[in-house]
Homo-oligomer: A and B are copies of this chain.
């Protein structure tokens, strides 16, 4: 197949490129590097089935070539420090970027996937969150540039499905970790792993809020399975095993350096108190459950930080 991935130089995008190349597909990656990393492109550039287009998908996707079978729209700043640094770009890629990606899929008759997020649930009042939960989001708070951009992207995607017949998929990605996350990602897993590898105290903001952590290979497996079935409503992909942020800091500490200190700071505004996926839909529809336990995933991530992946 011929597969185009926006955000191909991002953390998740790069794992999708790798998976699809390994399966023998042709992959077109698109990124503008505002939060993606060039080394996530460079590692694939020698591959005969990989092609890269440097472009801001909010301005258009200048693809010319063979018909596309799949368009996967993963481009967006996704961590709070990045979308706070680029709030307008984040809003643009959710609206204009999604629009261009949907139009491309429509022109090619390609299957389309939107990478949405557990952030569409905001600070949820229902726990765990099934896909039918409408969420609890501040429409104009400091996080709204990301949350509302993704909700808008879902609405646009469903509208293209309903009114233009595009064969769409929507996934809501819960916290995901693994090799190739940016060191300055700002999210709790990378923060803790980086701090632990540097022998620094682990900084906990709040601590009692909970998160579920999914290893990236599990997410990629869920994406591949969902692309293979026909289902247009959103699907949660995440690991329901729940840890408080503080528990998580303790696990990282105990596995790297039991002598590390844990320090505490106050929670940022609008930070969700708890977030945990209800994965009943993915389980029933895709026979999918996360397979990589947290301890094993963290081992792999730490190992990859010490010995980066060689080129394909």
Contact = CB atoms under 8 A, between A and B. Distances in A.
Contacts of A258: none
A152 B170 CA distance: 18
Given A95-B96, A148-B151, A152-B152, A88 B136 contact: no
Contacts of A94: 152
A40 interface: no
- Specify the main secondary structure of chain A where it touches its partner: helix
A234 interface: yes
Nearest to A138: B134
Contacts of A92: 99
Interface in A85-105: 87-88, 91-92, 94-96, 99
Contacts of A157: 140
Contact of A120 (B135, B139, B155): B139
A16 interface: no
B87 A159 contact: yes
A151 B136 CA distance: 13
A135 to B, nearest CB: 7
A51 to B, nearest CB: 29
Contacts of A148: 148, 151-152, 154-155
A145 interface: yes
Interface in A150-209: 151-152, 154-160, 162-164, 170
A82 B189 CA distance: 46
Given A134-B136, A139-B135, A233-B140, A155 B88 contact: no
Interface of A: 87-88, 91-92, 94-96, 99, 120, 122, 134-140, 142, 144-145, 147-149, 151-152, 154-160, 162-164, 170, 233-234
25 contacts: A88-B156, A91-B156, A92-B99, A95-B95, A122-B134, A134-B136, A134-B137, A134-B138, A134-B139, A137-B151, A139-B154, A139-B155, A140-B155, A140-B157, A140-B158, A140-B234, A142-B162, A144-B151, A144-B155, A144-B158, A145-B155, A145-B159, A148-B154, A149-B152, A152-B152
